[in-house]
Amino acid sequence: MSVVGDQQLLREILMREIETIHRYQEMLQRAADDDLQRFLAHALQEEKEHVAEAIQILRRLDPMQARALDEDHSDHFRAGGPGDRALSELLGRAGPPPASKPAASAEPEAAAESADVPPFGAVRPGSDLSARTVGSLRQES
């Protein structure tokens, strides 16, 4: 089998392992028996280890993926970042202006503060966070 074939196999494995984690988490929430809860918690831990192991092999076989995993992507979903603007567009509201090249000392948070519209997900005084859903956030915008 080729390296690309092995990469595809690993991604298929990852999909199945992650789906299994999701199912075990759901089952754990539904389980009432203590032994069953412990069994599911143990199975969940093992599935997470399988994800880590598959990623470890994928990193070796796919250097581009390894670099992507090593990079810091947190600026993509910070307030005022590309993810914030894309989400604003999806929700049909004005978002922060496109990021211009910030001054060397400017922080991403400072750019978000200058926008007319608060960043998506910004907490407004008196907001009940437990009641927030995508629908309620749409209504706020």
Of 31-39, 47-55, 84-92, 113-121, the window that binds Fe ion (rule: CB under 5 A) is 47-55
Q: Which is nearer to Fe ion, 12 or 109 (by Cβ)?
A: 12
Tokens (6 digits) for 58: 């994928």
| Residue pointed to by tokens 């994800």 | 51
Of 3-11, 13-21, 61-69, 133-141, the window that binds Fe ion (rule: CB under 5 A) is 13-21
Of 26-34, 50-58, 87-95, 127-135, the window that binds Fe ion (rule: CB under 5 A) is 50-58
Judged by CB under 5 A, the residue of 48, 50, 59, 93 near Fe ion is 50
Give the nearest residue (CB) to Fe ion: 50
If you write DSSP's letter for every residue of 68-128 in order, what string do you get?
HHHS--GGGSSTTSHHHHHHHHHTTS--PPPPP---TT--HHHHHHTSSSPPTTPPPTT--
Tokens (6 digits) for 64: 């581009």
Q: What is the DSSP letter of 93?
A: S
Smallest gap, in angstroms, from Cβ of residue 49 to Fe ion? 8
Q: Which residues contact 22 (CB under 8 A, 6 or more apart)?
A: none
23 lies in the site for Fe ion, by CB under 5 A: no
Which residues of the shown chain bind Fe ion in the complex (CB under 5 A)?
A: 17, 47, 50
